Amino acid sequence: MVKDYYAILGVDENASPDEIKQAFRQKAKQYRSAAEPGARELKEAYDILMDPHNRKRYDEFLQAEQQKRARQNQVEQRWAYLTLLSTRNYGTTKYYINGEQQPHLKNSKFHDVVNMLGSEGWELVGISVVGNEQTYIFKQPTDEIYEMRKDKPTA
């Protein structure tokens, strides 16, 4: 966890050196000894933020940490997959979606089927052709969030 020197001193990130000095003096009155943990942290924050070079480096580091945390908090995109199987036997084309025959698509033109799926948000990502069967893989973003199960399955 990164120490937030601005919060320790109770100043804004755009605070001037005079504001930092004033905040330091005000907060330092709370401590009886410079050896107290809070006093050490306060002095460390003051020293870093009063030195222009160290403050610039600290601000860059703080910004990088905030961006890193923001990326970690983003939900990874999840995808739903659909398999379209097309078979052609004796002049008849049959379509199966995820293993289920789709009689209403029988003898439809392939581009019509793909356009129908595309209009529903499905994107073609893979093709496999074996003999008279063509398999097409589609994907679509989903709002579902999957969590890894940490408990062991019971036997």
Cα separation, 101 vs 28, in Å, equals 76
pLDDT in tens, 24-56: 999 988 888 777 778 888 999 999 999 999 999
Residues 131, 122 contacting (CB under 8 angstroms): no
pLDDT digits (tens, 9 = 90+) for 144-155: 544 433 444 454
Q: Which domains does the chain have, with CATH numbers?
A: 5-73 (1.10.287.110), 78-142 (no CATH)
pLDDT less than 50: residues of the chain: 145-153, 155
Q: Which two tokens stand for residue 118?
A: 């595309």
